[in-house]
Structure 1
């Protein structure tokens, strides 16, 4: 089993577990590897040291006041950060993943039927429920012009399942 340190162009750092280097390269070519924070498939390996468990318990990350893709995009690459800043960045990423998993777990994914479903709820044709899905920028603008509140969210594709 290979545990690789990976990162995306926005500087999100995460681990990937693969059977071998060939397995990693194969999944990378097929666009099966993506950043769990922003969903970007442009993932590269970082230099990493072997993991040794010497019995020390890591401290729990502190929960940050806020998080988001915009904040991460303004930060330098993780390798250039101080240890405290790197810890804070990791806490931001963890908070974002926790929040996105909660959203995914408590909403129904209606896919590309989002505009149709939310419109039907708004006009009382069906019962309201918590949904998420995809809408084009044009569809989102049309919904807002009709007085239907929508919020664009960049949720990772794997947000509803366990990520390793």
Structure 2
């Protein structure tokens, strides 16, 4: 995806995301791109400086990612501490809980992609728990 800085014929500035330069051109020609302020379809691309991460920006990104990983790790730990492990019976047990056939409680375990998709289709709320490399130590 490419972010373009755009402007309309009334000098309103905004941004848009497109798969490619050609994608923008095609959509603009078909009048599918419009100004969010005035609705004008006369939209063009403005000059944009490329986004280059500096050393300081890279450091901020690394710190933010480390913090996010720590928070995810803590969330997964709390779920595991406060839920019942049901192993490969996860999909079956989650469905029973959802339909009131089993006690309402937090569970975690393993499920295949097909099982998870079927649960979602049935309206069962599920969420993958992250597994970190040091979780296996």
Of structures 1 and 2, the larger Rg is shown by 2
Of Structure 1 and Structure 2, which has the larger fraction of its residues in strand? 2
Of Structure 1 and Structure 2, which has the larger fraction of its residues in helix? 2
